[in-house]
Amino acid sequence: MEVNSINLSQEVYRSDAEKICNWLSDEEIISYLNEDTNVKRNLINVINRVNMPILTHLFNNNCRFFTIKNIYGTIGFLRLVPKSEFVEVVIAVGEKDLWGKGIGHNAVLEALKVAFFDMRAEYVVAKIKKSNKRSQNLFKGVGFKQAKELEKEIEYHINMKSFIKVAA
């Protein structure tokens, strides 16, 4: 298995949650995320309160949550959040030394399979901060098209037809 070869895992273990907390402590990582400012504190509270080795059920609240894994272990996370007729994708590669190595690209392709074939989404949306050029390039490279420019972010969309062209 290559370094950029990944899989999406639906199981979230305590060690995964602890890694995510560490990533949410990194100013560079959180500067690109659209997460609530309390997300790290809430996650730490959950880890301390719940004495279970598997925390999957806590992460799949109104979404499909995945850890991104490669041969070395958990390296990021991805969420698919169902809205009315679309699914929103949120991704973070927490291991910064792997940025720019195709991890995000491969994870988003895998997530699109879930969004279109399992969740039956009409289209998938990614909202990327204007300052996050790397993620903008990632989503454009996967086939997303810019749909809207908001105050602080750019919204990208992809439908199944466009995804199948890219994936073929």
160 located within any domain: yes
Determine the 3-state secondary structure of 121 from DSSP.
coil
In a domain, 114, yes or no: yes
The model carries a pTM of: 0.88
Whether 27 maps to a domain, the answer reads: yes
Whether residue 99 is contained in a domain is answered as yes
Contacts of 151 (CB under 8 A, 6+ apart): none
**Rounded CA separation 18/67 (Å):** 12
Tell me what pLDDT residue 54 has.
73
**Has residue 2 been placed in a domain?**
no
Residue 110, phi-psi category: left (phi > 0), alpha (psi -120 to 50), beta (remainder): alpha
Please report the pLDDT score of residue 1 as a whole number.
47
Of 25-39, 72-86, 134-148, which gets the smallest average pLDDT? 25-39
Average pLDDT, the chain: 88
- 1 within some domain: no
Decide: 87 and 77 in contact? Cβ < 8 Å: no
12-71, pLDDT tens digit by residue?
Answer: 988 998 898 888 888 888 788 776 666 667 776 777 677 767 778 777 778 999 999 998
Domains identified in the chain, total number: 1
Residue 101: strand, helix, or coil: coil
Q: Domain containing 151 — which CATH number?
A: 3.40.630.30
Owning domain of residue 42:
7-167
| Structural contact between residues 94 and 23, judged by C-beta atoms closer than 8 angstroms | yes
